[in-house]
Structure 1
Amino acid sequence: MVDETQTRAGSAPAERSSRPDSARPENGRGDSARPCSGPETPRGREEAPRARDEHRGREDGRRREGASAHHHSSHLSHNRPGEGGRSRFHDQSYAALDLGTNNCRLLIARPTASGFRVVDAFSRIVRLGEGLIGTGRLGEAAMTRAVDALAVCAAKINARRIAGGRLIATEACRSAANGAEFIDRVARETGLELEIVDRETEARLAAAGCTPLVDPHSDGAVLFDIGGGSTEVVWLDRVETCDGGPPAAIIRAWVSVPLGVVTVAERHGGVKVTPDDFEAMVQEFRPHLDAFVAAVGPHNCGRLHLLGTSGTVTTIAGVHLDLPRYDRSQVDGTWLVAEQVRVVVDRLLAMPFAERAANPCIGIERADLVLAGCAILEAVRRAFPCDRLRVADRGLREGILVELMRADGVWRDNPGA
C-alpha cells in the first residue's frame, strides 16, 4: 500500500469553528442542557426522495479534490441572505452534507444569537467504500445505496429555504478511480452537486466543528476523527471570537492517515477479532503518527486532553454509560479517563459478534467495524497518553455550518439572529 499520510505543522488560526458550550440548540423542548447540534434523524424516519436541488460554485471539469470553503464549495444558490436587518435570517436555513466512506449525513440549521439551531437532520450508513481497498473503485451496489440516501437529503434540502450550503464527499470518493464519475451520477440523479474535499479541508472542518469542546484551561487538545476510509488527527487550540459567534480554532499541526474503520476492518476482519488481530490493527496504524508526533515536538500530555469525534468514541461512551439506547444528549461532551476507555475496549474485544450487534449503542450495521475503530483509537492513545478523553458527537457538518454562517456575517451583522 502506498503511504498517503499527510502531515502539516503550523500555527495559523483556522478561523472557523462550532458553537461554544454555552450555545445550546433550541429544540423546542426546553432542553437547555443539550449540547450544540441536534440529534440524528432515527433510521427509518425518511422522507420521499425528490430529485432536484439548485447549487452554484460548480467548477468546470469538477475537481476531484476541493480547496477552501470560499473557492470550491458547493453552495446552494437559492435565497441567499439579503438586506433587511434581523429578519433576514428568520426563516433562512443552511445545509451541510457529509458523504463519507461509511455514512451519509445531513444537517440543516438556522442561525441563533451565538450559534445555530438544528431544524432537520439525516443519517444513514451506506458503506460507499465497501470493497474499495481491493478494487480501487466504488462498487455498483454501494453507489446505489449512497444515491438513495442522497435523494432523501435532496428532498429535505428542497423542503426549506436554504441561504447557503456545502455538500462534501471525503475519502471514498477521493481515492476511488471512479470517484468523479460517481459525483456526476449523483448530480444527474439527485440534483446535488457534491464537492470532493482534500484532506486538509477535512481536518480543518473537523476542528471547526469540535473546538467548543476543547477545555479552555488546558494547553490544547489532540483531536482525532476516525472515519470510514481515513483518520484525521489535529493538535488544536481555541480562541474566543469578536463577532459574537462560536470560538475559532487554531491548528498547530495535523495529519491525515488513509486508514479508517472500513479499510482496517476489511484488511484484518471485523467479525471475529482476537487480541492478536487487534494488536495487528494497532501496529498498522501507529507508524502513520510518527511524523505528526515529531511535528508537534515536546509536549506535556498531562496538560493536554484527547478529543474524539467518530462513531467509535461515541459508541465507547454509550457502552460506558450503559445506555439502553444511544442518546446524543448524554454522550456529546462526556469526559472519560484512560482507565474507563481501556475497560470498555477490553469489554468490546471480549464480546462475541452477536453480542456486539445486539448492543443498542452499536447495532448490526457497525458491529464489524467498532473494533477496528477501537484499534485506531488505541494507536492514538499510545502516541498521546493523555489521561482525559472528551467525546464529541459533532464534527464536519457543524464545521461547515459555522464556516458558512460566519462568511455571511450572521453573528457580526445580526447579533439577535
Structure 2
Amino acid sequence: MSLPHHPLHRRLALIDMGTNTFHLLIVELPEARHAQPVVLLRTKVGVRLGEGGISKGHIAPEPYARALHTLAGFKEEMELHQVTDVRATATSAMRVTANGPELVKEIFEQTGIQVEVIAGDREAELICAGVRQAVPLGPQPHLIMDIGGGSVEFIIANGQTIFWKQSFEIGAQRLLDRFFPDASGVIPSEAVAAEKEYLRTVLAPLAAAVAEFRPVGLVGASGSFDSLADMQLGRLRTEAELPPSSELALESFRRSYAQLLSLPHEERKALPGILPMRADMLVVAAILTDYVLELTGITHLRTSAYALKEGLLAEMLQAPPRA
C-alpha cells in the first residue's frame, strides 16, 4: 500500500550501482527534524556488471545492456513513487573500466539519472555510516568488511570514530576470474591456497591496521554476508525480510564454508539460502572471509543489511535542510 502523496513531501531515491548488484532505496523524508524516513521501496537487481570484462578493464556488452535496462526499470519505479530527488552512486566497475564514463553518459541520456562515480575511500566512509545505522558498534573498534564484485572495503571503527579505512580492488568477480575461472566444478585446494597467498600480500596494510587497533568483532556488509546469514537460516529471504543486522555464528560460517568448498556449481546453486547468481562468487568471498578470521582471530560476526546507500541517506539527513 503506498502512502497518500503530499506535494510538499520530499521523496528521495538512492541508487547504489555495485559491480554485482544494483540497489534502489526510495524513502519519504519526514517534515519533522529527527523523525525517521519512511521506506517506500527497497529492491535490488543482480546486474553482474563486472562479468566477462572487469579483469580486462572494460564493461562487456551484455552487462552494459543489463545496466541500462535496470536503470530504465528504476526510473519507472521512481516515477511511480513520485520521487523528487535522486542520488545515484557507482563504485569499482565504473571507477576502473575504460568504458565506465560512456555508460554514465548513456544512463543520463536515457533516464536523466546523473551517476556519481565515487572513490574507494569515500565508498568506505559511506559504508561505515550505513553500518552504524544497523549495528550499535559501541566504544570498541570493530572491523567492517564489504565484499563487492569489484572492490572490497575494510574499515576499523567504533560508534564514533573511523580509525582506519582502505578500499582494495580485489572484489569477488576479480578473485573468481583470477583463481577460479571455470567455476563449474569443486574449487581445487590449490586454488584456495593460491587465493590466500595472494590475499596475504595484497592485504598487508589490513594486517598492520588489525595489529594496531585490535578490532573485537567483524561486521560483514554485502550480499555475500546476507547469503551466509540466509544459509544459516536455511532459506533465501527477500530484501524486505532482511533485518538490519543478524548474528552469524562462527560454527554456521564454518559449516557453510565447508559446503561451498566441497560442492560443484550445480549443487552449490541448490543449497538452501543461496541466490543462484551468487553460487560461485560466494566461494571466493567465503575464502576471503575465512582469511580475515584467521588473520584477526575474531570469533564474533554480525551481518549488516545496511551499507553504502543507507550511509548516503544518513549523511544527507544530517545535512542542514535545504532553504
Q: What TM-score do the two structures reach when normalised by structure 2?
A: 0.88
Q: 2:77 is matched with which residue: 145, 148, 156?
A: 156
Q: Does 1:146 align with 2:67?
A: yes
Q: Which amino acid aligns with 1:149?
A: T
State the distance in 1 between where 2:137 and 2:62 align.
Answer: 45
Q: Does 1:256 align with 2:167?
A: yes
Q: Does the CA-based 8 Å contact 1:95-1:164 persist in structure 2?
A: yes
Q: 351-360 or 390-399, which moves further after superposition?
A: 351-360
The alpha carbon displacement at 1:284 in A equals 1.8
State the distance in 2 between where 1:145 and 1:180 align.
Answer: 16
Q: 108-117 or 167-176, which moves further after superposition?
A: 108-117
Q: Does 1:268 align with 2:179?
A: yes
The alpha carbon displacement at 1:151 in A equals 0.4
Q: Does 1:375 align with 2:287?
A: yes
Q: Which has the higher contact order (CA 8 A, sep 6+)?
A: 1
Alignment map for 1:75-94 (pairs within 5 Å): 91-94=9-12
Q: Does the CA-based 8 Å contact 1:253-1:292 persist in structure 2?
A: no
State the distance in 2 between where 1:383 and 1:200 align.
Answer: 22
Seq. identity, %: 27
Matched residue, 2:88:
167
Alignment map for 1:2-151 (pairs within 5 Å): 91-111=9-29, 113-151=34-72
Q: Which runs of 5+ in 2 are unaligned?
A: none
Q: Does the CA-based 8 Å contact 2:230-2:237 persist in structure 1?
A: yes
Would you say how many aligned residue pairs link Structure 1 and Structure 2? 314
Matched residue, 1:342:
254
Q: 1:355 is matched with which residue: 250, 267, 289?
A: 267
State the distance in 2 between where 1:197 and 1:104 align.
Answer: 15
Q: Does the CA-based 8 Å contact 1:226-1:261 persist in structure 2?
A: yes
Q: Which runs of 5+ in 1 are unaligned?
A: 1-25, 29-86, 240-249
Superposition RMSD on alpha carbons, in Å? 2.5
State the distance in 1 between where 2:312 and 2:228 align.
Answer: 26
The alpha carbon displacement at 1:193 in A equals 1.2
Q: Which amino acid aligns with 2:247?
A: W
Matched residue, 1:288:
202
Structure in which a larger fraction of residues adopt helix: 2
Q: 2:298 is matched with which residue: 378, 386, 389?
A: 386
Matched residue, 1:33:
none
The alpha carbon displacement at 1:297 in A equals 4.5
The alpha carbon displacement at 1:182 in A equals 1.3
Q: 1:197 is matched with which residue: 112, 115, 118?
A: 118
Q: Which amino acid aligns with 2:184?
A: V
Q: Does 1:298 align with 2:298?
A: no
The alpha carbon displacement at 1:280 in A equals 2.0
The alpha carbon displacement at 1:114 in A equals 4.3
Please give the secondary structure, in 1, of the residue aligned with 2:212. Answer: coil
After superposition, give the CA deviation of every residue in 1:306-365 in whole Å (9 maximum; x if it has no partner).
Answer: 000111111111111212x32554664211243332222112212232122123422322
The alpha carbon displacement at 1:237 in A equals 1.2
| Structure-2 change in CA distance of 1:319 and 1:218 (3 Å) | farther
